[in-house]
Structure 1
Amino acid sequence: MARSAVDDGSAWFGKPVAALKPVDADAARDALEIVSDAAAEAGCKRLSKLLAGEAPLKRFLEAVFELSPFLRDCARRNPHALEALFDEVADARLETLIHEIERSAFAEGQSESGIMKALRAHKTEAHALIALCRLADEADAEKTTRRLSTLADSCVRAAVDYLLLDAHRAGKLHLPDPEKPASGSGWIVLGMGKLGANELNFSSDIDLIVLVDTEAPAITEPYEAVDLFVRLTRRLIRILQERTENGYVFRTDLRLRPDPGSTPLAIPVNAALHYYESRGQNWERAAMIKARPVAGDISAGTAFLKELQPYVWRKYLDYAAIADVHSIKRQIHAHKGHGEIAVKGHNVKLGRGGIREIEFFVQTQQLIAGGRFPELRGRQTVAMLGQLAAHGWIGEEVREALTRQYWFLRDVEHALQMIADEQTHTLPEEDEEIEQVAHLLGFENAEAFSVAFRETLRLVEKHYAALFETAPQLSRGIGNLVFTGDVDDPGTLQTLSELGFERPSDMCRVIRGWHYGRYKATQSAEARERLTELTPALLEAFGATRRADEALLRFDAFLAGLPAGIQLFSLLQSNPALLDLLVRIMGAAPRLAAIITRRPHVFDGLLDPALLSELPDRDYLAERLDSFLAGAQIYEEILDRLRIFAAEQKFLIGIRLLTGAIDAARAGRAFSDLADLTVGSALDAVIANFTLRHGRIEQGRVAILGMGKLGSRELTAGSDIDLILLYDHAPEADFSDGEKQLAPSEYYARLTQRLIAAVSAPTAEGVLYELDLRLRPSGNKGPVATEIGAFSRYQRNEAWTWEHMALTRARAVAGDEGLRVRAEAEVEEIIALPRDRAKIFTDAAEMRALLEEEKPARDLWDLKLLPGGLIDLEFIAQVAVLTGGCAAGERPTGTVDVLNTLSDAFCPPQTRGELADAHRLYTMLTQITRLCLEGGFDPDEAPPGFADLLLRQTDLPELKVLEAHVEETAGRVRRHFETLLGQGKK
């Protein structure tokens, strides 16, 4: 029997739906039941009938609602959106919604709150429908990105039209034609990035640049026009991105405008043209490739972009511009020779073999050749791959492969974002969540998806690297490189200068020292021959760091400490990825360079081909620690091995962060897991050694509470660790049973002192960790070890507010399992105690003010102490935990996890999202800074390669833009801090 149209999905999507399989059949039935109940309650009879049957369309929806909580909730809140598909096929319904959005500005008596509500309702329905169409296979990835871009265009246009009409009614503007409010208005809204290219992803921000044509016919007061349009732009942002009970429309980002830290939100056209022509950067030329007028005065926007064409598309590139384009190319690294790529935690956009590598190659070639070939001036990535192939820049096979891989990766990106409507590009780390993504993409299981995903990334890497190797070279040969004799060769000095070395004569002397065999690594003739062959590649790579002299001197110090060189030089010759990594360390990460200079053996870990594919989670680290400690019997040897292991693993976790194999949050967890394991092993060794002389206390046991960033699993590469040592024993125990007996309090105090020495005392292998025990009861005045009953009594009866705030991050990290369970239960009970809510808010606000007075932030980059920085976020999270401001469920200790669970009663959803986003930004910047630099970040002193690294991690084009982003984020967080902690006064 043939299926009816309703049965197979043809009535909804114009074709039978794709097969989609849930991960958990029971959960899928529950999800369907939720929607079914909502449909019945709303009187959606046809939908109710469908969901009660056994048709393919019903099974498809059942899987969708289980795999995507976002789509389930959309259907639950508005079942009429699905009911409408019985009357109008999906494609037509989308057109209807777009029309309704664009006409919403003209509704009689329309208000700002009214259009906000209308846009949110229509956008949510259209958003969900676009996702359903992709999952049903009614649309491919290309059509989906185009639909999402059209939806964003229409929403921005509607908001702009409403605001222009409102200004017209108020007499601030005189629109030539109120039926077409944007025409002649002078308000130009350019869509940038993926919006400009009609390639928007599912939960993307929209990048906008807003301009004002002060000579437009609608403008009655040219001198006041900028102020007027700045106010209108602020309202536009509010209409689009403020979260209300109806959700939001689109998050907006205006940071791509000229000099965002010092220019208004709406910039006069003449000022913008002057900026681009006199001060515009090459990254801004690249950004303008995708610029498109999306709303407002379209003809004025088109005229602006036409006038800007000579700036974007230069017929002849000067040498500085060529160098800058090459530096842009260097900011994205093509990894080769590092083995498999991790699937879990991989960033589909910025990671190895990701979307950005394809986009970036296309844009750099457009910048180089677009001035001469107008066909290369298009906005869309795939279309430009076609043009590059047509003009012989790439082969047809490469074009076809990269096109296929591009759309596959965009599909993965969409699937990630469809799950919960989150702006994420990172694959989850849990097996079940990977399975969820795999099923959304139509794979049978996670394994099948992982195979396809790895293969795609590998192919993108391969083609990307080959594209750069075969791209037309704009620079001539490297020139003279002669380092024999005692006298500098003039041609060599010129070559070094052209490569970027500021003191070529000094560098010649350093390199000659290598060839004289003054270091162990260069004493053999074979080693010197290998190094001679490697030198041109090294010098070119060091020159690319823009601090060539510093990078070479760091490499020289590294060579000086190497016990041998032949193997390393051979590896660097045959493994360009390893050379690239070494140069990046020397050029961008002075702290890491110092580590491998002091401990060259840590570099051995980079030779592991699985390094970047294996996540350094707790099981991975524990397995390697066990292996590393195997056979060690002597106390001092165990402690030395722990120091060696921790140093190597910190370095390798850092390398994964540096290369983008893991993100900052994953790095924080890995550094914390490493601390848990090594401090726990040190404790075991200390106890075993201590009992040889002092014996044991009857039923005695010890546990360590990790506090601060150890407790919240946010350690950085250079963090101290905060801890509290707790103990208990049999009530009747008076003394230990060893050769030298001790009373319990003295026993555990001495044991703790021994642990401090074991972990913190410097040896030939350095220190394991610096320990801080000041968070124990009574601080430095109290005993270093605390009996758990005394700890509980102190926390319940004597502790200050700040001590309870600190306790919200406490986590048992090592020691006796039973005591750890008891300690964590005790902490939970203490945190759950009833409190004077107003006092908590007031105390926290006063503590922050005092801290700000006594320890003000050094500058914008002091992210911990900065007003609106990490401490503000930590205080908000800690106060929320203590005052019941979090959603019910298991209490997390991580700050960002707490921020993500803030209840609606404590703060609005938009605030919650902005606080979590701010914490992620600060965490990334802090992790990278602590990894690469010995001190804080000073933009004037830090290596340019480090600035490139920050920009790559934040996906921002210039340091000024990042500064503006940090400043804007800090201001937003501080306003939220004052509002939320001001609740105590209510």
Structure 2
Amino acid sequence: MNETTTKRLAEVADGVIRPLNQTEQKSVVSLLKDAAKQQPAIAELLAQEGPLKAFVTSALSLSPYLRDMAMLDPATLALALEEPLEPLLESLVADARNAWRGEDGGAVATEAQVMTRLRTVKRKLSFITALADLARIFDARDTTRWLSSMADACVAAAIDHLLLAGEDAGKLRLSDRQAPSLDSGLIVLGMGKLGACELNYSSDIDLVVFFEAEAGILVSPEDATETYGRMMRRLVRILQDRTGDGYVFRTDLRLRPDPGSTPLAVPVEAALLYYEGRGQNWERAAYIKARPVGGDLRAGQNFLRELVPFVFRKYLDYAAIADIHSIKRQIHVHKGHGAIAVKGHNVKLGRGGIREIEFFAQTQQLIAGGRMPDLRLRPTEAALHALTAARWIDAATRDELIEAYWFLRDIEHRIQMVHDEQTHLLPETETELRRIAYMAGFGDTTSFSARLESVLKTVERRYARLFEQEEVLSSASGNLVFTGQKDDPDTLKTLKGLGFERPEDISRVIRTWHYGRYRATQSVEARERLTELTPQLLKTFGESRRADEALLRFDSFISGLPAGIQLFSLLTSNPALLDLIVNIMSSAPRLAEIIARRPHVFDGMLDPGLMVELPTRDYLAKRLASFLQGSRHYEEILDRLRIFAAEQRFLIGIRLLTGTIGGAQAGHAFTDLAGLIIAEALKAVVAEMEAVHGRIAGGKVALAGMGKLGSFELTAGSDVDLILLYEHDDEAGESDGAKPLDPVRYYTRLTQRLIAALSAPTAEGVLYEVDMRLRPSGNKGPVATRLRAFEKYQFEEAWTWEHMALTRARLIAGDGALMDATRAVISAVLAKPREEARTAADVAEMRTMIDKEKPPKDNWDLKLIPGGLIDIEFIAQHLALIARGRGVAAEVDGLSTAEALKRLGASLMDPNDLELCLVALKLYTELSQVIRLCVDGGFDPATVPAGLVDLVCRAGDSPDLKTLEAEIKRLSKAVRKVFQGVVKG
């Protein structure tokens, strides 16, 4: 028997570890005395003073988990004291591998028997390995190898049991019941540390399961997904369910392709298609260590051979290398500039930790492994040796990293031996840190900390030489790991620290991006850009108010994008654009919803001139003409109008959101856009009518824009008030087309078609909601009005409120001569003599009626509050009606409310009152434009995004909401007094 296999625990060196304290050690001795009654070996241990007794009592004082195991199963402690270690462990691994077999060659073992056997042998091996490790009879290489061997045996045995159970249930046909996995086509790969035979002491095991449909063992091939899915759920239960005997290994199946949307066992063909088309760079890195551990081992090797071109590319483009670098950017932990904290440090993922060494090797394996097959090795140490042989790294680097790797693995094992927990964090307290230091063979925490810091700095220095961007990486705010499907605890902490309240949801969303489930993230290049962008994206979103909601809106936006690479590249190189997107997502739900529903509107943001060019009428007209060029068919024109209007409304809104234009400019731009769109829609409708019904002799139409459309004060969410007027020859009969209509029906039909052209929902949405209630006789009258009828009605029947509405009328489209004639009629109506007191009484009565029938919802209902927008508009309209009676020119056609007030109020109002109204109107306009842009419905500070509250305060030029609310109350109260003074009715 060679020296290795004859090693015994009795060979432990004197003072290899020390007890946590004397009290703990005495407590352990007392417990061992009870166990000694059944186990002579333990009695003998206690009877003799020496290194072995000191070691065992120290080890059990330092590890509550080992102490509990010794008390639960003292026979295993006795075995460890008496037997050579490696033969003992070999027998335990063999017992695990055969756990599926019946006793004495009898019937197949039951599932309960398999579970008990696996738990028992795993517990024994873990206990004995830990003692050998702490005694320094084993080093970390031995420990990881034995733990990995046990995991292999347990997985393989469980798979054999499940295959036999499948045959017994009539689901499978096996080729050999004595070797169930042989030629089964069921592939179980061990990933990560299991694949590299480097398993942690308390590690999860990562498995990926595939099956070959053509293996022929399925009785009903069409049930493959269900049959294997059920089998894998049982596999997880066998391995990780906690019973009275404990558990075997926590088992994770989420490294399979796109785990959120694929079954637990994936067909080989589907897997190969996935990796070829959508495989990610982190998956390439993961497959460096992949190894068949159970099921059909030969099929597993064949599968991995087919994956070689995916994992090890012959040519690696720069973008892919950048993406590999960005994986490290995601996992980097920053704890101070230049100082590595020991307490609380993550020895796996922290700076200078195990992951950096693994990543150091894996990155270079990915880059060069396609051309150099000798680099395709699973274990980290072997990879570092291979990189040295290939002259990718020097021997000094290799030696430093290998020494650091195994030292850190030692520390990792000791952290996990304390309570059998899957953790990599050093304790925060001095007492618990002392426990780890003693387990590692140090006499105090000072010397331990000094050694650990030295190792971490060595690793960090070596890693920094490999990656030029280390300085950038070190400014990250913490762990950001989104590989696999399992949440990384430190990543959740980082997300919390960045400002996210629901880090689990955010982590899940980002994993969705990485799996390419959206069209925008299906290409490898798009995912590479997005991976690179993710840290900055999270940082920027985290700085916004209600960061979770904002990022979820961004996710909704990405989900609708047809492609992503251009956007992600642009955001990476353009922080200002990223800030703008975050601004939208965090403060403007309405805009966020628009770009999520219709991502094409975002295209305009890619225009570098967006913030430079103002959206004047000429600017919009040129853009619209260009956009409509080549459109011939009616439906095509209407769709293009919808696309253009949606994009330009959005871009006007962006300018308003960023402060490039103010509220009044936005109102003018929204109105110019509407005028151009409506004019084009009218032309298309007229052409369509003439094509079907012909023309009316002398027929012509004109459109009057009323309300905010007339006064250049539309908001992002405004509907449009229209009146359609027409004229024709007196002797005109029916139209001259294939389907003739008389004039009334002709222009009624034309108006109805115009309303539908503007407001009917199509695949491209709605242009504008149309309101025609301001026509003569309102909803009771015809939708189209002949000009002479309109003139007669306005002079003989119209109420004062209808003349008030005419003060904001503006001709926006149609036949030029008819538009001029209509202007003349409106001007004559507004110029007719009026009894001033009667007019004032009518205006006041109208305002009172609105107060009663449509009271304001709250103080933010800026239109309806007493002293709000309606009061100011009514003041301007009242002055326009009485101006001529006082000898003042009253032409207000095409003026905004503010411009009309300035023109009329200069002669008809007290200067202070006029100034007050203009100040209030400016504030109301700024606030209304921002609010209507960002949310549908009213503004409720308690429910709107916090970012919108900030925007509203900025628009109101106030430091906070309380100050702004006070200013609104002050101005509205003053405006109401002015209204009552001006409109003396």
Length-normalised TM-score, structure 1: 0.51
Alpha-carbon separation, structure 2, partners of 1:904 and 1:707: 25
Q: Is the 8 A contact 2:611 2:655 kept in 1?
A: yes
Please list, as runs of the form range in 1=range in 2, the aligned pairs for 1:173-572 lying within 5 A after superposition: 477-572=476-571
Taking only the aligned residue pairs, the percentage that are identical comes to 63
Q: Is the 8 A contact 1:886 1:898 kept in 2?
A: no
1:654 and 2:653 are equivalent in the alignment: yes
Q: What do the CA deviations read for 1:165-188 (whole angstroms, capped 9, x no partner)?
A: xxxxxxxxxxxxxxxxxxxxxxxx
Alpha-carbon separation, structure 1, partners of 2:749 and 2:480: 62
Measured after TM superposition, the shift of residue 901 of structure 1 is 2.0
Q: Is the 8 A contact 2:668 2:713 kept in 1?
A: yes
Q: SS where residue 902 of structure 1 aligns? A: helix
Alpha-carbon separation, structure 2, partners of 1:574 and 1:540: 15
Alpha-carbon separation, structure 2, partners of 1:953 and 1:768: 27
Alpha-carbon separation, structure 1, partners of 2:785 and 2:799: 17
Gaps of 5+ in 1: 1-472
Per the alignment, residue 934 of structure 1 pairs with 936
Per the alignment, residue 719 of structure 1 pairs with 718
Q: What do the CA deviations read for 1:572-606 (whole angstroms, capped 9, x no partner)?
A: 00011111111100011100000110111111101
Q: Is the 8 A contact 1:795 1:830 kept in 2?
A: yes
1:731 and 2:733 are equivalent in the alignment: no
Q: SS where residue 702 of structure 1 aligns? A: strand
Q: Is the 8 A contact 1:640 1:765 kept in 2?
A: yes
Q: What do the CA deviations read for 1:804-852 (whole angstroms, capped 9, x no partner)?
A: 0001000000111111111111111110110111111111111111111
Per the alignment, residue 891 of structure 1 pairs with 892
Q: Is the 8 A contact 2:890 2:904 kept in 1?
A: no
Alpha-carbon separation, structure 2, partners of 1:546 and 1:904: 44
Per the alignment, residue 951 of structure 1 pairs with 953
Alpha-carbon separation, structure 1, partners of 2:899 and 2:751: 31
Per the alignment, residue 426 of structure 1 pairs with none
1:777 and 2:809 are equivalent in the alignment: no
Structure with greater contact order relative to length (CA < 8 Å, sep ≥ 6): 1
Q: SS where residue 563 of structure 1 aligns? A: coil
Alpha-carbon separation, structure 1, partners of 2:504 and 2:961: 32
Per the alignment, residue 970 of structure 2 pairs with 968
Q: What do the CA deviations read for 1:905-950 (whole angstroms, capped 9, x no partner)?
A: 5321010111011111101101101111122111111111111112
Q: What do the CA deviations read for 1:92-134 (whole angstroms, capped 9, x no partner)?
A: xxxxxxxxxxxxxxxxxxxxxxxxxxxxxxxxxxxxxxxxxxx
Relative distance call for 1:843 and 1:811 in structure 2 (3 A) is same
Alpha-carbon separation, structure 2, partners of 1:711 and 1:481: 54
Q: What do the CA deviations read for 1:940-965 (whole angstroms, capped 9, x no partner)?
A: 11111111112222321111111111
Alpha-carbon separation, structure 2, partners of 1:976 and 1:911: 6
Gaps of 5+ in 2: 1-471
Measured after TM superposition, the shift of residue 763 of structure 1 is 0.5
Alpha-carbon separation, structure 2, partners of 1:955 and 1:754: 44
**What is the CA RMSD across the aligned residues, in angstroms?**
1.5
Relative distance call for 1:759 and 1:886 in structure 2 (3 A) is farther
Q: Is the 8 A contact 1:700 1:728 kept in 2?
A: yes
Measured after TM superposition, the shift of residue 646 of structure 1 is 0.6
Which letter maps to 2:493?
Q
Per the alignment, residue 924 of structure 1 pairs with 926
Q: SS where residue 724 of structure 1 aligns? A: strand
Alpha-carbon separation, structure 2, partners of 1:800 and 1:722: 18
Measured after TM superposition, the shift of residue 678 of structure 1 is 0.7
Alpha-carbon separation, structure 2, partners of 1:658 and 1:546: 16
Q: Is the 8 A contact 1:759 1:769 kept in 2?
A: yes
Q: SS where residue 639 of structure 2 aligns? A: helix
Q: SS where residue 724 of structure 2 aligns? A: strand
Per the alignment, residue 605 of structure 1 pairs with 604
Q: Is the 8 A contact 1:886 1:902 kept in 2?
A: no
Which letter maps to 1:891?
V
Which letter maps to 2:662?
D
Q: What do the CA deviations read for 1:826-884 (whole angstroms, capped 9, x no partner)?
A: 11111011011111111111111111111110111100111110011111110010011
Q: Is the 8 A contact 1:951 1:958 kept in 2?
A: yes
Which letter maps to 2:816?
E
Q: Is the 8 A contact 2:880 2:890 kept in 1?
A: no
Q: What do the CA deviations read for 1:734-779 (whole angstroms, capped 9, x no partner)?
A: 2211122111111101111111111111100011111000000000
Q: Is the 8 A contact 2:827 2:891 kept in 1?
A: no
Alpha-carbon separation, structure 2, partners of 1:750 and 1:904: 45
Alpha-carbon separation, structure 2, partners of 1:756 and 1:903: 37
Which letter maps to 2:668?
R
Relative distance call for 1:951 and 1:476 in structure 2 (3 A) is farther
Which letter maps to 1:960?
K
Q: SS where residue 914 of structure 2 aligns? A: helix
1:663 and 2:665 are equivalent in the alignment: no
Alpha-carbon separation, structure 1, partners of 2:772 and 2:944: 33
Per the alignment, residue 764 of structure 1 pairs with 763
Q: Is the 8 A contact 2:888 2:907 kept in 1?
A: no
Larger radius of gyration: 2
Length-normalised TM-score, structure 2: 0.51
Alpha-carbon separation, structure 1, partners of 2:496 and 2:556: 22
Which letter maps to 1:883?
I
Which letter maps to 2:715?
T
Measured after TM superposition, the shift of residue 489 of structure 1 is 1.0
Aligned residues: 510
Per the alignment, residue 860 of structure 2 pairs with 861
Measured after TM superposition, the shift of residue 889 of structure 1 is 6.6
Which letter maps to 1:595?
I
1:581 and 2:585 are equivalent in the alignment: no
Q: What do the CA deviations read for 1:671-713 (whole angstroms, capped 9, x no partner)?
A: 1111111111111001111111211111110000000100011
Alpha-carbon separation, structure 2, partners of 1:541 and 1:723: 44
Q: Is the 8 A contact 2:844 2:983 kept in 1?
A: yes
Per the alignment, residue 979 of structure 1 pairs with 981
Q: SS where residue 704 of structure 2 aligns? A: strand
Q: Is the 8 A contact 1:887 1:901 kept in 2?
A: no
Per the alignment, residue 273 of structure 1 pairs with none
Q: Is the 8 A contact 2:520 2:563 kept in 1?
A: yes
Which letter maps to 1:529?
E
Q: SS where residue 908 of structure 2 aligns? A: coil
Measured after TM superposition, the shift of residue 505 of structure 1 is 0.9
1:672 and 2:671 are equivalent in the alignment: yes
Q: Is the 8 A contact 1:844 1:879 kept in 2?
A: yes
Which letter maps to 1:970?
S
Measured after TM superposition, the shift of residue 903 of structure 1 is 3.7
Measured after TM superposition, the shift of residue 476 of structure 1 is 7.3
Q: SS where residue 654 of structure 1 aligns? A: helix
Q: SS where residue 601 of structure 2 aligns? A: helix
Measured after TM superposition, the shift of residue 902 of structure 1 is 2.9
Q: SS where residue 578 of structure 1 aligns? A: helix
Alpha-carbon separation, structure 2, partners of 1:645 and 1:886: 45
Q: SS where residue 857 of structure 1 aligns? A: coil
Per the alignment, residue 851 of structure 1 pairs with 850
Alpha-carbon separation, structure 2, partners of 1:636 and 1:845: 46
Alpha-carbon separation, structure 1, partners of 2:888 and 2:825: 21
Q: Is the 8 A contact 1:886 1:903 kept in 2?
A: no
